[in-house]
Structure 1
Amino acid sequence: MKSIAALALISSAAAFAPAPVSKVGSSLDYAKELDSMPTSVECPKVFDPLGLSDYLPVDWARRAELSNGRSAMLATVGWFFPKVFGTFASSDVTTTDPIDAILQADPQWWAQWVLICGVFETWKYKKEMEGKSFLGGDDPAVDYLKLWPADQAAREDLKMKELKNARLAMIGFAGFMANHFIPGSCPVPDFIA
């Protein structure tokens, strides 16, 4: 009787043991492409705690990072410009608080803004179809000041500088937002906060 009880306990315990699972690799494994990305000692190639590089093309993710970084650079300047220099002569927006200014703007202004962004994005798309680039290619679509260097090493240096500034601006803007909604959460100077 004792041996039957022991066998019953052992067999019931086996029901709760983890089943052996074979490791299945992703067919979209882009992690190997990370090794060919340009980097510097101070600027790491990738910070990917969620493992998104296994599901997204690395080149697309880098272009998205650079595009968002450029927007963050503009947003950072737009955050502190009215606080330092004041607002334009306008009866619509009377505050230097960026979040309140968004809510004070007239809806027709937002419609115009969406329209002009759509025009620019369409123009960028057409230029990309012509082989020009806005996000790290060798032949920029817009270079009015002729700042794009002819030397390949200087080009890579310029790309790395822009990537570093983009990352810094994204972190800085996130700090501004955090300090706005949770006052004192980030060490932001009083004239910017």
Structure 2
Amino acid sequence: MQLRMRYSNPLRPCWIFDPLGLSEYVPTDWARRAELSNGRSAMLATVGWFWPKVFGTFDSQDVTTTDPIDAILQADPQWWAQFVVLCGVFETWKYKAELEGKSFLGGAEPAVDYLKLYPTDSKGQEDLKLKELKNGRLAMIGIAGLLSNHFIPGSCPVPPF
């Protein structure tokens, strides 16, 4: 195992852990964008895990459980078809915005900012990006823990939720 030092900012060195040397083969910007995208998905998955247990299920004859994995298996295929179509609409909107020079994953003007919460100064933008990246990492670890605790009871030192 080795620690490699990489400077993203000369005033603030950044230590990275890369024992396999994967950063030599994968562009750093692509990896960061992929991590941000997966982190956003994990944040939504974490909300989706707790939502039915806190607020209950929708009025449906298909899904009768608040267990997230059982609910996935009980859902009617038409709901999955609608979900896939909705994801396709969002992806199309995302790519259209990227063709216009906007971005969902950083590097350009945000494609969606209805509440005008995106900072205008560069320091605020960097702070917001770092917060989102760290929250995404935490959500990825959290959803992995919830899944492992579901499939391997007692694997995590928390009670099943």
TM (norm. structure 2) is: 0.88
The answer to whether the 8 Å contact 2:43/2:140 transfers is: yes
Q: Please say if 1:163 is aligned against 2:119.
A: no
User: How far did 1:124 drift?
Assistant: 0.5
Match of 2:30 among 36, 39, 60: 60
User: How far did 1:47 drift?
Assistant: 4.2
Partner SS state of residue 110, structure 2: coil
* Deviations, residues 84-106 of structure 1 (Å, cap 9, x unaligned): 22111111111111111111111
AA in 1 matched with 2:31: A
The alignment covers a number of residue pairs equal to 156
AA in 1 matched with 2:148: A
The answer to whether the 8 Å contact 2:39/2:139 transfers is: yes
Q: CA RMSD of the aligned region, Å?
A: 2.1
User: How far did 1:52 drift?
Assistant: 2.0
Tell me, in whole angstroms, the C-alpha distance in 1 between the residues paired with 2:15 and 2:74: 40
Tell me, in whole angstroms, the C-alpha distance in 1 between the residues paired with 2:49 and 2:70: 12
Change (3 A) 1:45 1:127: farther
Look up the match of 1:134: 104
Following superposition of structure 1 onto structure 2, how do residues 1-193 of structure 1 map, counting pairs within 5 Å? 34-36=6-8, 46-190=16-160, 192=161
AA in 1 matched with 2:103: S
The answer to whether the 8 Å contact 1:176/1:188 transfers is: no
The answer to whether the 8 Å contact 1:69/1:166 transfers is: yes
**Percentage of identical aligned residues:** 76
Moved over 6 A (4+): none
User: How far did 1:121 drift?
Assistant: 0.5
Partner SS state of residue 69, structure 2: helix
Change (3 A) 1:45 1:175: farther
Change (3 A) 1:74 1:46: farther
Which 5+ residue runs of structure 2 have no aligned equivalent? none
Which 5+ residue runs of structure 1 have no aligned equivalent? 1-30
User: Which has a greater percent of strand?
Assistant: 2
